[in-house]
Structure 1
Amino acid sequence: MARHSPELNLTLRLPVGESPLRHRIAEAVVEQIRVGRLGPGDALPSTRMLAADLGVARTSVVEAYDELGAAGYVVARPGSGTRIAAGADSAAAAGAASHVRPTAAVTAVPHASGQRPPTWTWDLTPGHPDTALISTTDWRRAWRAAAAVPVPASSGPEAHAELRLALAGHLRRTRGIVTEPDELVIVPGVASALRALTAAAGLVGRDVAFEEPGYVEARRVLQLAGVRPRPVAVDVDGLDPAALRETDAGVYCTPAHQYPLGARLPVSRRAGLVAWAVESGGLLIEDDYDGEFRYDVSALPALRSVDGGRDCVAYIGTASKVVTPSLRLAWLLPPRHLRDPVAQALAFSGESACAVTALALARFIESGALTRHLAKASRTYSARRSALVDALRRHCAGVGLAGVEAGLHLVVRLPDGTDDSAISAALRRRGVTVPPLSSFVAGPDGPRGLVCGYACLPETRADEVAAVVADALRRHFG
């Protein structure tokens, strides 16, 4: 029978080390379970009480409880606090950790003669969220609910009613977009949305203004679909509507967090883009790939929510950054007059999203799990971003950083003409994979730098990575 402790006092001895405080608190709780001082059903102290006992910030305890919950060690229920989960004692006895501990990994990349190969590797390629942050309890519950219903008979453009309903509420709360569920179209990725828009809006053989530097995969998809992406250089505020031409049939942009430079498109340019589209009849394609993540700044409403945007903005969102790319799910909110042509284009191409996966994501959203996950992920990513920014500023004094206010990556800016590909190759040989900014540019010219994703980089490793980057820069510039 589960035991219920009437007292919530818990004496923890935090392990010594460089691990983040939340990890050490979680490890101390697991140790108490392992030795039998805590068992299934026992109540943990409130986060406020434990923080006071340990003399630490309450945020660290909240994050530790989140970690324990995600690992299945504890269960939090409204009105009954946080309790040790069933089976937690067996997991602790088996040595199951509540988080992934960084381990050394020998790289197989070639190295210069006489130079020792790296003993660890870190992949800073942008666009990869940390899937370890997803609550396994919430994840399993969502998939069990999806598996409990009859097998869906259809997965076409008119299907996925549950997910469209859940997303309509999510977009209203997080992105300021008011839409009816029937206006949304569920697609198996951003590429599918772009192909459908190309066919529905008649963009084949026409110019579409495209951010430079920009999202390489989207540019390639449009090119293969028959569109002519026209590079338009972005500045510190993103894409300038004044750079558009009469021959442009549309615009592809990432206004919430320009990919990859990170600019946030100001309201004046947002209004200017919508005004251009209304006057010219052009299509604005808004790729809101990571609009949920903001640090130290308020989120700007989506371009779609600007007055007039409903008739000219095609909004694209994706589960890739907020949950995981492996879901292969995205959502498209086309202008009203393109809703049916988009559905027809998808029906003709046969591209459709998995109905069971869509239902699982719907349950994940409806249950509040996505909201909890985004809150936890935002705290974690904010801490990792701050650690990397501070470390780069210490080790790479004088080097500019861009795009630090939002998203899951930042850019180390380098002087124009720098061979950033050579620096990237040198870093790869030393165990740090980071793409050069020049790889996001269509032509031979453009800004130079390093695009560093930090979503999966623990705070404790930021200093090491920054030191390697700094050394590579010193060697390159002499």
Structure 2
Amino acid sequence: MARHPHDVQLTLTLPPTGEALRHRIAEAIIDAIRLGRLHPGDALPPTRALAAELRVARAGVVEAYDELCAAGYACARPGSGTLIAPGADAAAAAGAGSHVSDRPAPVPVTEPTPASPTWDLTPGCPDTGLISPDDWRRAWRSAAAAPIRPHPPGPNGHPELRRALTVHLRRTRGIVAHPDELVIVPGVNAALRALAAAADLAGQEVAFEEPGYRKARLTLEIAGARLRPVTVDEDGLDPAALRESDAAVYCTPAHQYPLGARMPVSRRARLVALARESGMLIIEDDYDGEFRYDVSSLPALRSLEGGDACVAYVGTASKILSPSIRLAWLLPPRPLLRGVHDSLRLSGENACEVTGLALSEFIDSGALTRHLARASRTYSARRTALVGALRSQRDLMEQPGVDLAGIEAGLHVVLRLPDGVDDEAIAAALGGHGLAVPGLAPYRTTVDGPRGLMCGYARLPETRAEAAAETIARVVGGHLR
């Protein structure tokens, strides 16, 4: 005898309006399965009967049944109607739906977002408002008009940008190089990773400035290098502190990060000579070498005699334009160029082709030269205003151990504080007063390292310098008393 599906008396309550009718009917049937009112093998009412009971159009019921069948909750059998499918009860209990809901997602309950600081003195952040909108749009229009290339650029890519940068580096940093020697990467960290792999720095000792750039330190440590802190002084890193066991040295000679020292020519020459004699690799991070005030330009380490054999020069668009561009350039020593290419091919790290074309047009058109001149004038005025405002706070500046450092170049000055002061706590207190000023704590690795605040002035209007200095003096003075 043929078996017939069980007829069930089905009473449905449709969910509130908000979704399509078919979704609401299907959801009501799944709820009935979840509550045990419908079981696998049960027959659903004929579409016409259910439509009459719900007082809706029959087309909506037909579509709901089709949706349930497509989701696996039901199956249609000729002569038997539409049945609840095997396993439907388990699926309903697990909360599986028949469709992706088009109702708005509930707003998650999150912690309130901290208010933006009144004045942001975070170092290394340029003022993007100084970029000429006309020049910027023109560069991107030119990039957008170029043919779309089918493959990622790779280490041999960006020919237009490499050609433009070699001209820029020769004019601004005295570095003479062929475009084929330059490598475009998506950020300084990518350059450091490629260098560490090419020079096989994993497990080797690398001298590193103390205090020094935290992100570079972490990148090299993750690459396996054993970093040895070398304390810097008022002239930056001292070559006399290096050892024969150092396979490489990382330094920021243009404007030591974070203390701001400019390495004098005598030390630069000794450092390059030492590296040539010992086979040591010098990693020269020239992160904001374009900005200097009231002082003459000093040659990059890479530009010195023999620098092409031992100096890896790293530059970036982050400080001259914006960190959001995600473009940096690496000029490795000639013996390491092939290894850098191999490392980048293996890692797959590529800088955006379109961004590279836009930057090359920005350079070739003369827009970068105009921008650097305009930015240098503005940053110089803002530096003068902030330094003058801080020096006018005599109750603070006359305290023992308080001084300003690194004022000749870059985008920040350091307010040096007495040894042992908790500059991290002071930075947090300043944040409570609407002032974002980081301390030196994240940049030092030794307990007895220098104390101070890094006061970036690139985005601080001259008219705000006095108020910012007064807030710094009040908060710092409270901690020193």
Both structures adopt the same fold (TM-score exceeding 0.5): yes
SS of the aligned residue for 1:464 comes to helix
* CA drift at 1:184: 0.2
- Report the residue type matching 1:417 in the other structure: G
Contact 1:190/1:316, CA 8 A, preserved across alignment: yes
Aligned to 1:243: 241
* CA drift at 1:199: 0.4
Contact 2:255/2:406, CA 8 A, preserved across alignment: yes
- Report the residue type matching 1:301 in the other structure: P
For 2:309 and 2:384, locate their aligned partners in 1 and report how far apart those are by CA, in whole Å: 39
Aligned to 1:180: 178
For 1:330 and 1:425, locate their aligned partners in 2 and report how far apart those are by CA, in whole Å: 32
Aligned to 2:79: none
Matches within 5 A, 1:8-23: none
Identity of aligned residues (%): 68
Aligned to 2:436: 433
Aligned to 1:397: 397
Query: Which among 114, 120, 123 is matched to residue 123 of structure 1?
Result: 120
Contact 2:117/2:436, CA 8 A, preserved across alignment: no
SS of the aligned residue for 2:427 comes to helix
Matches within 5 A, 1:106-185: 121-153=118-150, 154-185=152-183
Query: Which among 447, 451, 466 is matched to residue 450 of structure 2?
Result: 447
Matches within 5 A, 1:179-258: 179-258=177-256
- Report the residue type matching 2:130 in the other structure: L
Aligned to 1:347: 345
* CA drift at 1:246: 1.2
For 1:274 and 1:152, locate their aligned partners in 2 and report how far apart those are by CA, in whole Å: 40
* CA drift at 1:152: 2.2
Which ranges in structure 2 are unaligned for 5 or more consecutive residues?
1-111
Deviations 1:170-201 (A, max 9, x none): 00000000011110000000000000000001
SS of the aligned residue for 2:468 comes to helix
For 1:402 and 1:165, locate their aligned partners in 2 and report how far apart those are by CA, in whole Å: 37
Query: Which among 467, 473, 476 is matched to residue 476 of structure 2?
Result: 473
* CA drift at 1:229: 1.3
The answer to whether the aligner puts 1:411 opposite 2:408 as a matched pair is: no
Aligned to 2:20: none
- Report the residue type matching 1:408 in the other structure: L
Deviations 1:31-66 (A, max 9, x none): xxxxxxxxxxxxxxxxxxxxxxxxxxxxxxxxxxxx
- Normalising by the residue count of structure 1, what TM-score does the alignment of the two structures yield? 0.75
Deviations 1:390-419 (A, max 9, x none): 000001332310000000000000111111
Deviations 1:243-275 (A, max 9, x none): 011111000000000001111101111111111
For 2:332 and 2:211, locate their aligned partners in 1 and report how far apart those are by CA, in whole Å: 25
For 1:373 and 1:305, locate their aligned partners in 2 and report how far apart those are by CA, in whole Å: 24
For 2:113 and 2:167, locate their aligned partners in 1 and report how far apart those are by CA, in whole Å: 47
Aligned to 1:18: none
Contact 1:177/1:304, CA 8 A, preserved across alignment: yes
Contact 1:240/1:269, CA 8 A, preserved across alignment: yes
SS of the aligned residue for 2:243 comes to coil
* CA drift at 1:437: 1.3
- The 3 A distance-change label for structure 1 pair 137 and 231 is same
For 1:255 and 1:424, locate their aligned partners in 2 and report how far apart those are by CA, in whole Å: 26
For 1:239 and 1:290, locate their aligned partners in 2 and report how far apart those are by CA, in whole Å: 17
Query: Which among 369, 384, 387 is matched to residue 386 of structure 1?
Result: 384
Contact 1:257/1:406, CA 8 A, preserved across alignment: yes
Stretches of 4+ aligned residues off by more than 2 angstroms: 107-110, 396-399
* CA drift at 1:337: 0.8
SS of the aligned residue for 1:372 comes to helix
Contact 2:308/2:334, CA 8 A, preserved across alignment: yes
Bigger radius of gyration: 2
SS of the aligned residue for 1:413 comes to strand
* CA drift at 1:202: 0.8
- Normalising by the residue count of structure 2, what TM-score does the alignment of the two structures yield? 0.74
* CA drift at 1:438: 2.2
For 1:420 and 1:323, locate their aligned partners in 2 and report how far apart those are by CA, in whole Å: 30
Aligned residue-pair number: 364
For 2:114 and 2:432, locate their aligned partners in 1 and report how far apart those are by CA, in whole Å: 6
Contact 1:109/1:429, CA 8 A, preserved across alignment: no
For 1:165 and 1:311, locate their aligned partners in 2 and report how far apart those are by CA, in whole Å: 21
Aligned to 2:369: 371
Matches within 5 A, 1:258-407: 258-395=256-393, 396-398=396-398, 399-407=402-410
* CA drift at 1:425: 1.2
Contact 1:152/1:356, CA 8 A, preserved across alignment: no
For 2:425 and 2:313, locate their aligned partners in 1 and report how far apart those are by CA, in whole Å: 37
SS of the aligned residue for 1:299 comes to coil
SS of the aligned residue for 2:397 comes to coil
- Report the residue type matching 1:121 in the other structure: T
* CA drift at 1:443: 2.2
Does 395-404 or 343-352 show the bigger shift? 395-404
* CA drift at 1:109: 5.6
Deviations 1:118-170 (A, max 9, x none): x9611211110000100000000000001111012331000100000000000
Which ranges in structure 1 are unaligned for 5 or more consecutive residues?
1-106, 111-118
